[in-house]
Amino acid sequence: MNETELVERCGKGDNLARKQLYERYAGQLMAICVRYTGDREVAQDVLHDGFLNIFRSFGQFTYKGEGSLKAWLTRIMVNEALGYLRKKVSTNQEVIVEELPDVIDGDEDDFEQIPQSVLMQFIKELPDGYRTVFNLYVLEEKGHKEIAEMLGITEHTSSSQLYRAKTLLMKKINDYRKRI
């Protein structure tokens, strides 16, 4: 079933089309959920809730050509993950500033040698707030103003959390490079 037919049939509530939609996109959307939540079990719950939201709101989707479906699904899943993070009981996410390195050593060419799976694990290990801002800024290419509006924080908080996320990542990368 091509994307146009899949959209049309999902919009009509066709369960076979919904199953195909799930099978086609669940893996990519699960990766997004894990990236934001940092926990596979929580990500599965977010993915489930996100698909329920997708199926409920399919009537509002307008197909605009190849790729528009994936973009819409991704936006819903990111919003679902952000909603989960907003509802989550806040734990102490702050990292003691003394733990952050003053200087980031190493050159960028060395980082290309680090496997992507290792980098994604480092991102997953960031405190929730840092990880969320990092994902939105770096991977979703949102600006600090948009991130601030999405998360209900100030632009300064967004930029501060991004800085701290990058600093912690650099520390993890430097430690990793020393081990290999």
- Position 69 scores a pLDDT of 94
**Are 47 and 103 contacting, i.e. CB atoms less than 8 angstroms apart?**
no
Task: Tell me what the pLDDT averaged over the chain comes to.
Answer: 85
Q: How many CB atoms lie within 10 A of CB 157?
A: 16
pLDDT, average across residues 83-100: 55
pLDDT tens-digit map of 111-133: 567 888 898 889 989 998 899 99
Asked whether the predicted pLDDT for residue 106 surpasses 60, the reply is no
The CB-based long-range contact list for 4-11 (8 Å cut-off, 24+ gap) reads: 4/63, 6/69, 7/58, 7/61, 7/63, 7/69, 8/63, 10/55, 10/58, 11/58, 11/59, 11/61
Distance CA 120, CA 70 (A): 22
- Position 99 scores a pLDDT of 44
Show the domains of the chain with their CATH numbers. 3-87 (1.10.1740.10), 97-179 (1.10.10.10)
pLDDT, average across residues 74-96: 72
**Which residue in the block uniquely carries the two structure tokens 């959920």?**
33
Q: Rg for the chain (alpha carbons), in Å? A: 19
pLDDT tens-digit map of 136-160: 999 889 999 999 888 888 889 889 9
- Position 137 scores a pLDDT of 93
Distance CA 27, CA 34 (A): 11
- 23 in helix, strand or coil? helix
Who has greater pLDDT, 33 or 90?
33
Q: Which two tokens stand for residue 102?
A: 């003053």
Asked whether the predicted pLDDT for residue 102 surpasses 70, the reply is no
- Scanning the chain, the segments in alpha helix (DSSP H) are 3-11, 15-37, 40-56, 68-87, 108-111, 116-124, 128-134, 144-151, 155-179
Per-residue confidence at 177, pLDDT binned at 50, 70, 90?
confident
- Position 111 scores a pLDDT of 55
Asked whether the predicted pLDDT for residue 104 surpasses 60, the reply is no
Percent of the chain with pLDDT over 90: 53
Of 19-23, 68-72, 73-77, 82-86, the range with the lowest mean pLDDT is 82-86
- Calculate the dihedral angle through the C-alpha atoms of 10, 12, 15, 20, rounding to the nearest 10 degrees: -20
- Position 47 scores a pLDDT of 96
**Helix 155-179 × helix 144-151 angle, to 10°:** 100
